Amino acid sequence: MSEEPIQDQDRDLVLYEVDDGVATVTLNRPERKNAWSIPMERRFFALLDEAAADPAVRVVVITGAGRAFCPGMDVQRLEQNAQPGQSLNLQARVPMYSRRNMPKPLIAAVNGACAGIGLVQALICDIRFAARGARFTTAFTRRGLAGEYNMPYVLPRVVGLENALDLLLSGRVFDADEAKELGLVSRVVEPEDLLDVARAYARDIARNCSPRAMAVVRHQVYGDLDRDFTGALARSYSAMEFFAGSPDFREGVASFVEKREPKFEGLPPDFDPDEATRDAFLPY
């Protein structure tokens, strides 16, 4: 499916800046609390593609402008879709989890309300920081909907089966502190410090971790979720072979011995993490 080009009037719906190896992607409809729209969707995923292709970008932070992250689909779109005879026409939409396979770490800085399709965007990320007081909900059952965008598959793998069923069946609202207890977020930060803390974490791994190694680790973790132990072990040995004697491994060891910051090369746009695990083998 070919994706529609971004219109000039839609470019400010999501902001993008790069600094010190970190791209910050900001949902930017504060007057609508960053409610999700189709033009925002196209702009958001286009910017993730831009970050994936830019060797200067090593880590991506996703957040929202104002006091909300994303409370879900814009109510105007919901009202339209709720009318009799309406079709979602999902084939005209950007595949929601397509960028989960991008080779760079994604960090969510959830600064406020996070619900429905907004929660999906947080779940696409590898690591989630939340502002204390931020509120979450799956929301779907309270809107007369089933679990959308594969959330019934993803959420149990993040918070466990019973917790996922609780959140999906009830559609109840829960806060950042409970989200941390459930394992939905890994860190709760005071609202005024959230973005600084998330960016500091992103800068640390951008400066000190091999982009190739991070890309392969993400590929291993997500690819092995539904693989058996032996298959995952074989891929792990292949990745070990791939990095043995590599420039990144040499630099990682040298920087450790010399007690200095490593100087890893940026990730080439054509790097394929599957190269490290494609010829999976066991050495016995």
pLDDT band at 181 (very low <50, low <70, confident <90, very high): very high
The kind and range of the H/E element at 67 are none
Percent above pLDDT 70 for the chain: 90
Strands (E) in the chain, as ranges, are: 14-19, 22-27, 59-64, 68-70, 106-110, 113-115, 127-131, 135-137, 174-175, 187-189
**Runs of H (alpha helix) within 185-243:** 194-208, 211-224, 229-243
pLDDT in tens, 30-55: 999 999 999 999 999 999 999 999 99
In this predicted model, which residue has the larger pLDDT, 268 or 98? 268
Kindly report which listed range (5-9, 39-43, 159-163, 185-189) carries the lowest average pLDDT score.
Answer: 5-9
pTM over 0.75: yes
pLDDT bin (cut points 50, 70, 90) of residue 105 is very high
Average pLDDT over residues 185-209: 98
pLDDT at 5: 60
Give the span between the Cα atoms of 94 and 97, in whole angstroms: 9
User: By the 8 A CB rule, do 36 and 118 touch?
Assistant: yes
The pLDDT confidence band at residue 6, using thresholds 50, 70 and 90, is low
User: What's the confidence (pLDDT) of residue 83?
Assistant: 56
With a cut of 50, say whether residue 88 has pLDDT above it: yes
Residue 1 is predicted with a pLDDT of 41
Distance (Å, rounded) from C-alpha 69 to C-alpha 26?
9
Amino acid of residue 127: I
Q: What is the pLDDT of residue 84?
A: 66
